[in-house]
């Protein structure tokens, strides 16, 4: 009996091996569906009885070897996660108190979870009005689809995956990705492709303009010109690349008009000495543009003035002037003093770190700007903005009440509440004497 069982097992193993070899051959010849169906049947066997069943199971479950199955699994998972998030909000990923046993944690959050589920229609009505990025639930499926195109460019499901990815990239407003996929779709509409090319070129141009280093900007602008030579954005990129070459400056540290309005000493006689008529709000006698004033490196500053048309949206007229070393040092000192004072008065007025900016300002304060550092790595494009420009308001410095009114909750969960919180007094300068 043992010998018969061993012979039967050997026969089954050889049969599975033959089926495995046949499935592999079918897959290489392009019969994907038949090959994966055969591998599924082999993988459903006893993994202890034959090694071929284990190999087949590993192939079927591998997202790299079987990206089509991974695509369907990720698509179903993304739908479940999206629906769960819409119904249960932040509780879709689990209860708040993860350190507690799951039963206890869910029991504590059960009333809030039920209230969140009941408020689903209200949240769905508010969701179009809420700003900010939305979760990309389909990202996993998109990765699997791209992996399928990479592994099997001539596969059975290429057309389906390309069309799905094209719709996905359009929903993400990724015109460049959609344009690349449009070239995979036979008989794609020529007018629609031209529109996608314009949108992709505009996106690439915006990305190039936002680059901090001028050598990186120039390289990206040249790339836009080479890739989209017939587009309007390609022409604009060529003009900008020429301007970068001809009019590039070692620095471009800018103070906006809003920042100068909140810190008038910088623009006043002790600072830059800007004519007050340029800041009086009247366009008849000339006016400073919202872009404000820029330090261009060395002792050169640039004033952006409102165009003669009087439209703030038009390209401003730029006037450059060379200032004295003493005036530049005073202006930089006032600028740094105003920035530090703003942080002391309002934590939201903090300035981000920029080593190239700090190095230039320090050299200007010491009168060492005659030797211009023209390296791209030394350039700073930092912008000093006012609080009104950044947040739309200037917060009151400090309340006279001894408590704060705290709002807690969420409109989406219908759990908004308010309560007072006592504000402890600030320590006095002599507090260390009583410790």
For the chain, residues with pLDDT lower than 50 are 1-9
Neighbour-count burial for 204-216, b at 16+ CB within 10 Å, e otherwise:
bbeebeeeeebee
Q: What is the pLDDT of residue 260?
A: 92
Cα 235 from Cα 24, distance rounded (Å):
51
> Does 421 reside within a domain?
no
Q: Is there a single domain that holds both residue 334 and residue 270? A: yes
Cα 23 from Cα 17, distance rounded (Å):
10
Q: Is there a single domain that holds both residue 304 and residue 234? A: no
Q: What is the pLDDT of residue 416?
A: 65
Count of the separate structural domains present in the chain: 4
Q: What is the pLDDT of residue 323?
A: 92
Cα 303 from Cα 275, distance rounded (Å):
11
Q: Is there a single domain that holds both residue 290 and residue 345? A: yes
Measured at the alpha carbon of residue 98, what is the angle toward residues 97 and 102, in degrees to the nearest 5? 95
> Does 225 reside within a domain?
yes
Dihedral of CA atoms 44, 49, 55, 61 in degrees, nearest 10, equals 30
Contact 19, 41 (CB under 8 A): yes
Q: Is there a single domain that holds both residue 384 and residue 259? A: yes
> Does 19 reside within a domain?
yes
> Does 396 reside within a domain?
no
Q: What is the pLDDT of residue 44?
A: 80
Strands (DSSP E) along 147-280, which ranges? 253-255
Write the CA distances from 209 to 50, 194, 212, integer angstroms. Answer: 61, 23, 8
Query: For 346-416, where are the alpha helices, taking DSSP H only?
Result: 355-365, 387-391
User: Of the candidates 33, 59, 85, which is a domain's last residue?
Assistant: 59
Cα 81 from Cα 303, distance rounded (Å):
52
CA 358 centroid distance within chain? 26
Cα 92 from Cα 192, distance rounded (Å):
39
Cα 304 from Cα 288, distance rounded (Å):
6
Q: Is 399 exposed, middle or buried (0-12, 13-18, 19+ CB in 10 A)?
A: exposed
Q: Is there a single domain that holds both residue 163 and residue 181? A: no
> Does 430 reside within a domain?
no
Helix (H, G, I), strand (E, B) or coil at 113: helix
> Does 415 reside within a domain?
no
Q: Is 183 exposed, middle or buried (0-12, 13-18, 19+ CB in 10 A)?
A: exposed
Give the list of residues 6+ apart from residue 280 with CB closer than 8 angstroms, or none. 287
* Interhelix angle 232-247/214-227, nearest 10 degrees: 150
Q: Is there a single domain that holds both residue 79 and residue 17? A: no
> Does 417 reside within a domain?
no
Q: Is there a single domain that holds both residue 221 and residue 322? A: no
Q: Is there a single domain that holds both residue 145 and residue 257? A: no
Reference 176, options 223, 133, 213; nearest CA is 223
Q: Is 189 exposed, middle or buried (0-12, 13-18, 19+ CB in 10 A)?
A: exposed
- HSE toward the beta carbon, residue 432, CA cutoff 13 A: 1
Q: What is the pLDDT of residue 180?
A: 92
Q: Is there a single domain that holds both residue 139 and residue 155? A: yes
Q: Is there a single domain that holds both residue 384 and residue 277? A: yes
Q: Which domain holds residue 113?
A: 62-172
Q: Is there a single domain that holds both residue 358 and residue 382? A: yes
> Does 414 reside within a domain?
no
Cα 9 from Cα 130, distance rounded (Å):
63
Q: Is there a single domain that holds both residue 187 and residue 279? A: no
For residue 408, report the phi and psi dihedrals to the nearest 5 degrees: -140, 145
């Amino acid at each position: 009996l043992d010998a018969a069982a061993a012979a039967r097992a050997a026969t089954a193993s050889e049969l599975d091996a033959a089926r495995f070899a046949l499935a592999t051959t079918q897959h290489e010849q392009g019969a994907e569906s038949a090959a994966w169906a055969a591998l599924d049947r082999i993988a459903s066997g006893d993994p202890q009885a034959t090694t071929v069943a284990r190999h087949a199971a590993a192939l079927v479950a591998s997202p790299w070897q079987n990206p089509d199955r991974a695509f369907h699994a990720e698509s179903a998972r993304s739908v479940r996660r999206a629906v769960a998030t819409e119904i249960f909000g932040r509780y879709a990923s689990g209860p708040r108190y993860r350190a507690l046993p799951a039963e206890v944690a869910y029991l504590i959050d059960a009333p809030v979870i039920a209230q969140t589920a009941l408020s689903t229609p209200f949240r769905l009505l508010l969701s179009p009005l809420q700003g900010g990025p939305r979760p990309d639930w389909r990202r996993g499926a998109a990765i699997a689809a791209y992996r399928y195109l990479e592994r099997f460019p001539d596969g059975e499901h290429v057309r389906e995956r390309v069309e799905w990815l094209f719709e996905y990239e359009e929903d993400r407003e990724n015109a460049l990705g959609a344009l690349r996929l449009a070239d995979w779709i036979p008989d794609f509409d020529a007018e629609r492709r031209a529109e996608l090319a314009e949108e992709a070129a505009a996106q690439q141009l915006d990305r190039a303009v936002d680059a901090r280093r001028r050598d990186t900007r120039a390289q990206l602008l040249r790339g836009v010109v080479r890739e989209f030579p017939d587009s309007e954005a390609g022409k604009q990129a060529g003009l900008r690349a020429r301007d970068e070459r001809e009019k590039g400056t070692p620095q471009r540290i800018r103070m906006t008009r809003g920042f100068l309005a909140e810190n008038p000493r910088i623009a006043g006689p002790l600072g830059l000495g800007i004519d007050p008529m340029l800041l009086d709000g009247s366009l008849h006698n000339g006016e400073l543009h919202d872009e404000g004033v820029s330090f261009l490196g060395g002792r050169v500053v640039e004033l952006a003035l409102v165009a003669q048309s009087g439209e703030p949206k038009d390209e401003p007229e730029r006037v450059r002037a060379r200032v004295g070393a003493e005036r530049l040092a005073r202006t930089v000192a006032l600028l740094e003093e105003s920035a530090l004072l703003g942080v002391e008065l309002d934590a939201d007025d903090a300035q981000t770190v920029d080593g190239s900016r700090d190095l230039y300002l320090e050299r200007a304060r010491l009168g060492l700007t005659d030797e211009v550092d023209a390296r791209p790595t030394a350039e700073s494009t930092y912008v000093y903005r006012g609080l009104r420009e950044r947040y739309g308001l200037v917060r009151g410095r400090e309340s006279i009440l001894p408590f704060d009114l705290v709002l807690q909750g969420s409109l989406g969960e219908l759990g908004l509440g308010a309560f007072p919180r006592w504000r402890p007094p600030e320590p006095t300068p002599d507090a260390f004497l009583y410790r």
